[in-house]
Each structure stands twice: as C-alpha cells, then as structure tokens.
Amino acid sequence: MNEFKEAKQAYDNVPVPAELDQRVRAGIRQGKARRARQAWGKRLGTVAACFVVVVGALNVSPTMASAAADIPVLGGLFRVLTVRSFTDENSDRTLEVEQPAVEGCDALAQRVNREIQAIVDEKTAEGEQLIAEYKDAYFATGGTQEEWERHDNTASVTYDIKSQTDTTVSFVVNSSVSIANAYQEQFYYNLDLTADKELTLADLLGEDWVTICNDSIRAQMAASENADMFFTEDQGGFTTVDEMTNFYIDQSGDPVVVFPKYTVAPGAMGEVEFTISK
C-alpha cells in the first residue's frame, strides 16, 4: 500500500457527523453562486470610501489578542497589509484571523477589501456555528466535556501571497475549520495594479486560453501517478475551464489552475493544482 492510499485510508476513517457532508456540498454550491455574484459586481460603480476608512472601521473585541502589521508587498502606491490579526479563544473554540487588505483609494482596492472583510465575517461566523453543531452531535453520541476540550476546534481565516512583481500581486485568502478537513475554501486574487483590474487567464495565456488550459490539464491528469483517481466526465469530473475557474500566479509568472476538493477527484486528494506553462 503506497503513501497516498495510506493517507486516503486515514482520511476516510476520520469520524464526521452525517450532516457535515451535506453542509460541505451546500457550501461549495453557495461559493460558486457567490463568485458569480462577485463577477457581476465587478461591473458596478466604484466605492466612495478610501482605504483608511476600511482600516479605521475594523473593530477588535477587547477579549482578543490583536495586532496590526504593516507588511509592504509592493513599492509605490500599492501594498498588501495585514490590517487585522487576532486569536480569540473560549472553552469551545478558537478563532484565528490574519486579514489582508490592498492599500489604495482606487475602485479595485476598495472592492477587494470589502470582499475580504465580508469573507472574514462570514467564515468566522460559519466556523463558530459548525463547531457548535459538531459539539451538540458529539455529546449526543456519548462524548464528554473533558474529551471535547481535548479537541482542536479552530476556525481560521488567513492569507498567502503567491507572487509579486512591480505591478502585480497574486494572493489567496484561506478559510478552514479544523474539525472537518473537507470544510475549507479559498478565494483567489490576481491583481494588475497599474491597469486597476483583476487579471484573467485570457490576459495571461491569450485568446486560446481555454484550449491551452484544457489540453494541459488533461495531459497532466493522464500523466499523474493518481490518474485513475480523477473523476470522469460522466462522474461529474473535469470538462473545461471557464471564467470562474480558480487560479493564482506562481513565482515564474505562470497561472496555476486550482480545483477545490470533490470537484475533479475524491476529497482525500485535497485541492488539485495544474501549472499552465505559457
């Protein structure tokens, strides 16, 4: 039995409440709907308030150990900052947040910052609710308070900068809940700061981007040592990329297409990534 199969077996043996799978799949559907709404929102008018208003409005509870770190990512007028960082613990759960924001008064920065603020608010609330529901189910099946307190019950929202140049930045906002490996979500931002726009796969790969991506992804799937694990099209697996396909830009400047858990392969494979060379 190879390492992947052992990891998959361990993953599949983790006890998870029956209702969690339904919540995860519902969350995936909601995420797709939300990204569709966000794509439409890109066509709307600009936001009036400047970045300083966004930062000034971030109120942190006195019970939280908080810090704001001024971490420059880009020179000139644009930087990505950690505008809020805190850990909030009680006997039932831990909330961990490291919240980024793009500095600037332009429409792009304001829209991205508003979206990130909404993600932090939504995902920490969802995490608390999921942990509370899991606790109820845990005690209903014979669990004790002492056993419960030994669990790692953490809901977190963090971010990771994937690449940066003088004019672009690519980063991802990650949300997760420790009690459920499946309950994770990522939000990708690929920004061209000089053009005041979000970069697309078409911007990076040209007008034939769909064909380029599809051919590369299928070839990489076929060459993978886990080729037999990918879902077929009849099973709801990969068919084609589109405008809503997640990606980030790596340090070489190549787009890396990312598929969430359960979309093109079993959840044990985690997120599945394919680098599309130019």
Handedness of CA 233, 208, 245, 248 (dihedral sign): positive
Q: Read off the tokens for 90.
A: 């009680």
Q: Would you place residue 71 in the very low, low, confident or very high pLDDT band (cuts 50, 70, 90)?
A: very low
Q: Would you place residue 64 in the very low, low, confident or very high pLDDT band (cuts 50, 70, 90)?
A: very low
Residue 3 amino acid letter: E
pLDDT at 182: 62
Residue 66 amino acid letter: S
245 C-beta neighbours (distance < 10 Å), count: 18
Contact 172, 160 (CB under 8 A): yes
Calpha distance 249→32 (Å, rounded): 21
pTM for this predicted structure: 0.74
Look at residue 206 and give its three-state secondary structure: coil
Contact 82, 69 (CB under 8 A): yes
22-53 pLDDT, tens digit per residue, is 554 555 455 544 554 444 344 333 333 343 33
Q: Would you place residue 151 in the very low, low, confident or very high pLDDT band (cuts 50, 70, 90)?
A: confident
197 strand-pairing partners: 192
- What percent of the chain clears pLDDT 90, i.e. is strictly above it? 54
161-171 pLDDT, tens digit per residue, is 999 888 899 99
Strands (E), the chain: 65-69, 80-89, 94-102, 154-164, 168-177, 180-192, 197-198, 246-249, 255-259, 272-275
